[in-house]
Amino acid sequence: MLNNLRHRQLPKGLKETNLIVILSFLVLLMIGTIIFATGMGPVSVHTTTVLQILISKIPFLSNPVGNDWTQVEESIVVGLRLPRVLLGLIVGASLSVTGVALQALVRNHLADPFILGVSSGASATATLGMLFGTFSFLGTYSLSLSAFIGAVVVIVLVYALSRVNGKINMTQLLLSGVAIGLIMESITKLITLSAPNALGLHNATFWMAGSLAGAKWGYLTLPLLVMFLCMTILLLNYRALNALLAGDETAGTLGFNVNVIQTMLVLIASLLAGVTIAVSGSIGFVGLMIPHITRLLIGSDHKKVLPVSAFLGGILVVWTDVAARLIIAPEELPIGVLTAIFGGPFFIWLLKKNARK
Amino acid sequence: MKLQVENLNFSYNHHKILNDISLHVNNGEFVGIIGPNGSGKSTLLKNLYRALTPDSGSIYLDHENYRDLKIKDIAKKLGVIGQDNGVPFDFAVNEIVAMGRSPHKKLFEGDKKEDKEIIQNALNTVGMADMAERNYLYLSGGEKQRVLLARVLSQQTEFLVLDEPTNHLDIHHQLRIFDVIKGLGATVLSAIHDLNIASLYCDRIYVMKDGSIYKSGTPEEILTSENIKEVFNIKTDVRQHPVTKKAMITYLPESTFNKGEDIVV
């Protein structure tokens, strides 16, 4: 009884906080991020103006707000910044969820589309499609689909190479990820060097650097749909993902068909990585950092980890992108450069922390 | 719940590991499997809980062939504690135990009040209720093993398959875990490392040697000096313990004989 009382008086950590409360807070944070980040850039737009422009775009609400902003401001907010901020949210969320899915697949914190070479694989096939039109028979979404193909190939290869006696070996995993990533980067170089036309080459180089600068409203649909689809499938199977972290055998004894779930994870991670990389190039380490921070805050239950890391990832990418367009304004830094500068040391820290365990 | 295994064979890389195994566990029985390292105990159990697929032979759970049962249906009848129990992620104790509810749940279905009670009861049974919010990673070996037992209990299966559930535990925790298991009244098939533990808890024992069932019977029939010498190649003194009335095995080290004294065993 006494024991019980003492436990009650302890301050409740985030881990026991209701998921609804955490998610409501994150939604507010996201809305705040959209409003503030949209105004920030080489040409800054005042936050109240952003808010007025946004509200004027909501049907039935346009009347009460005045109309005291310039046409330039409106086109910056609606035509350039807002789609870019929204794309940042989707890309960040997708990359984080890709990280969560890959980590469940290989049962390791250190999995990330960038580190396992998945991004490089997607880039290689995407470049091939962009410069030679190899996948043009796939139609409008040929870039996304070609990136998806590259991602699947790499995940399957890395997964097969790092399985030793039915278990994922961490050293094998990281090394085969690095090796295949390097091979894929070389293939990308080979493709760009033998590119038939200069314009395509220019486009490909710009895209590969990893940037949200080219965001348009039209780019949002497919990544958004894919993210909702994958998120729904993963959330439906959150128990299976939890069980997988306890090991393949244990997951099997808890009634899950491990092969089916692992195949599903390979497809989902590839789809998310491929579609995201097709619109933003490769932005590294988001899928590594965000799931880890999320788990530190709220534990490893996937019912919480999936939505929380999606929100945190989106918010982080949007703010990193703000930094990317402000640091050397009016020039822009590729956002991938910034995430790597922070993500690299984070990865090394994780590696050291893991080694201590 | 009754388990029946008929003529099971299993090989790995063309190397035969299990050779024509037949065994059965009756409803409510506590059956132990003993045998030296590498005799195939774990491999046999893995075939029974479907982590490995046998080359030939049949397994029946309550007269239903495994082939006709879904993975999820087996998980509702058969709870397992295997050897590989590392969880390399931060999970709270109650989250690990909640995993046991998985086979009873539909897609995305959360834990209801009823599930929470089952989880709480399981934690009470193994004496880990105070630790429900603790991080599993930082528990001691004995505590981890009790949490795994609670996970299997929350799975609410009538049949338990255990692969040396008290491996690496001190004697207090060994007895405690087996007392809890014995107290459940469930049907149990367990690989057991320690012969005295096997003697104390088992209704029947199967002895494995080189991938085959060498002998089977009650602890008194199986745990004799001759059998132990034959299978484990050690000298022992076996007597009936005055209090437990069970066979008590004392291991006799080679040094005892090297002194040239004549010990009558």
Measured CA to CA, the distance from residue B146 to residue B96 in angstroms comes to 11
**A341 is written with which tokens?**
């500068």
B74 close contact with A: CB closer than 8 A: yes
Say if pTM beats, i.e. exceeds, 0.80.
yes
Q: CA of A249: which chain B residue's CA is closest?
A: B51
pLDDT recorded at residue A63 = 59
Percentage of chain A lying above the pLDDT 70 cut: 88
> How confident is the model at residue B250, as a pLDDT?
92
A200 or A118: which leads in pLDDT: A118
Burial state string for A275-297 with b = 16 or more CB within 10 A and e = fewer than 16: bbbbbbbbbbbbbbbbbbbbbeb
- Straight-line distance from the first to the last Cα atom of chain A, in angstroms, rounded to the nearest whole number: 35
List, for residues A27-38, the tens digit of each pLDDT value.
999 999 999 999
pLDDT-based confidence at residue A10 (cuts at 50, 70, 90): very low
Q: Which residue has the higher pLDDT, A283 or A214?
A: A283
Q: Write down the pLDDT at residue A141.
A: 75
Q: What is the ipTM of this complex?
A: 0.89
Confidence of residue A11 (pLDDT cuts 50, 70, 90): very low
Q: What is the pLDDT of residue A12?
A: 46
Domains, chain A, with CATH or none: 84-356 (1.10.3470.10)
Q: Do B71 and A252 touch (CB under 8 A)?
A: yes
User: Bridge partners of B59?
Assistant: B5
| Closest residue, chain A, to B79 (C-alpha) | A253
Q: Which two tokens stand for residue A171?
A: 């050293």
Task: Show me where the domains of chain B are located.
Answer: 3-258
Which of A173, A250, A306 should be substituted to probe chain B, the one whose Cβ sees the most B Cβ atoms within 10 Å? A250
Q: For A260, which residue in chain B has the nearest alpha carbon?
A: B71
Per-block mean pLDDT, blocks of 10 residues, chain B (265 long): 92 91 95 94 94 92 90 93 85 93 88 91 92 90 92 94 90 92 93 94 95 94 93 92 91 73 53
Mean pLDDT of all residues in A305-323: 95
Instruction: Tell me if chain A has a CB within 8 Å of the CB of B105.
Output: yes
Whether chain A has a CB inside 8 Å of the CB on B133: the answer is yes
Does the domain formed by B3-258 have CATH 3.40.50.300? yes
Query: CB–CB of B87 and A7 under 8 A?
Result: no
Contacts of A252 in chain B (CB under 8 A): 49-51, 71
Q: How far is A254 from chain B (nearest CA, A)?
A: 5
Interface contact flag, B88 A108, Cβ < 8 Å = yes
CA geometry: angle B87, B149, B157, nearest 5 deg? 115
Cα–Cα distance between B215 and B231 in angstroms, integer?
A: 10
